[in-house]
């Protein structure tokens, strides 16, 4: 078993996840960088971490596929023999659509990646972390969104509903496993300057939204990562079931 605490960051290859991976490595975590398709981006994050004196590996896996999740956790077991942290960060938006334009395939994919994947990963993590199952405890951070509170009307109400589910899941799971030495919290980013907006067909969304944000600017991925690192850290030892807005006042 490795000496360092091990954290899995889903969707760790780009955007907010990549910033979380780099920050976690600086804080002394051994980082498992999950990605779905873009191996080069994941390997670039690993290289950055290793070049800075940290430890990391990249692990492929679509969090919407139960078999991929099982394989990912099996790799962590065989490589490191421990898991201390999970950041459920992998997430997708869709192109802006009203509800009357959405089809089953879109909604199904939205919920599978953003909700089912996070719940399945949390289950695998709890099986390894729970003190009642012989583990040493641990910490889970879920990445929600301010969309959970605002609803994303006219853009992606399915995404907002998925993030609402993440909020509720965070509260319930925190209470369920608190006595087993596992803390569970969430961060709700506001509008953050990453490639997710381009993936939804709105490449300038972060900039365009600036006037509607009380701080008059989109956030940086690092500003979300800083909040996640706090929740991962012993400084948050009495914090569980909390959902922290990182949204510039939005």
Q: How far is the CB of 248 from ligand NAP (least distance, A)?
A: 11
Options 35, 80, 159, 230, the catalytic residue: 159
Q: Token pair of 171, please?
A: 């509260």
DSSP state letters, 117-149: HHHHHHHHHHHHH-GGGT---EEEEEE--THHH
Q: Label the pairing between strands 243-246 and 138-143.
A: unpaired
**Which one, 6 or 143, has the nearer CB to ligand NAP?**
143
Q: Which candidate, 22, 2, 140, 8, places its Cα nearest to that of 72?
A: 8
Which residue ranges make up the site for ligand NAP (CB under 6 A)? 10-11, 13-17, 34-38, 41, 62-64, 89-92, 113, 143, 145, 189, 191-192, 194-196, 199
Q: Which candidate, 116, 77, 99, places its Cα nearest to that of 155?
A: 99
Q: Which stretches of the chain are assigned E, i.e. beta strand?
A: 6-9, 30-35, 56-60, 85-88, 138-143, 182-189, 243-246
Q: How far is the CB of 178 from ligand NAP (least distance, A)?
A: 24
Q: How far apart are CA 23 and CA 18, in angstroms?
A: 9
Q: How far is the CB of 244 from ligand NAP (least distance, A)?
A: 12
Q: How far is the CB of 134 from ligand NAP (least distance, A)?
A: 28
> Is 238 annotated as catalytic?
no
**Which one, 143 or 173, has the nearer CB to ligand NAP?**
143
Q: How far is the CB of 184 from ligand NAP (least distance, A)?
A: 16
CA angle 134, 137, 142 (to 5 degrees): 130
**Which one, 164 or 181, has the nearer CB to ligand NAP?**
164
Instruction: List residues with catalytic annotation.
Output: 159
């Amino acid at each position: 078993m490795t000496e360092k605490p091990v954290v899995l960051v889903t969707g760790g290859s780009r955007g907010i996840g990549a910033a979380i991976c780099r920050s976690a490595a600086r804080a002394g975590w051994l980082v498992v960088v999950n990605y779905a398709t873009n191996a080069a981006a994941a390997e670039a994050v690993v290289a950055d971490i290793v070049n800075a004196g940290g430890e990391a590996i990249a692990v492929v896996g679509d969090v919407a596929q139960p078999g991929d999740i099982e394989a990912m956790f099996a790799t962590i077991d065989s490589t490191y023999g421990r898991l201390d942290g999970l950041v459920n960060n992998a997430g997708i938006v869709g192109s802006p659509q009203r509800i009357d334009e959405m089809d089953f395939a879109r909604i199904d994919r939205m919920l599978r990646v953003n909700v089912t994947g996070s719940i399945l990963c949390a289950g695998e993590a709890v099986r390894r972390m729970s003190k009642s199952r012989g583990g040493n405890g641990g910490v889970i951070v879920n990445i929600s969104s301010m969309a959970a509170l605002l609803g994303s009307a006219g853009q992606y109400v399915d995404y907002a509903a998925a993030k609402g589910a993440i909020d509720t899941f965070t509260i319930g799971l925190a209470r369920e496993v608190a006595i087993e030495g596992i803390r569970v919290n969430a961060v709700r980013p506001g509008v953050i300057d990453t490639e997710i907006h381009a993936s939804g067909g709105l490449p300038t969304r972060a900039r365009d939204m600036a006037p509607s944000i009380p701080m008059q600017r989109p956030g940086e991925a690092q500003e979300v990562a800083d909040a996640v690192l706090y929740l991962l850290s012993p400084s948050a030892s009495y914090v569980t079931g909390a959902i922290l807005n990182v949204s510039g006042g939005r």
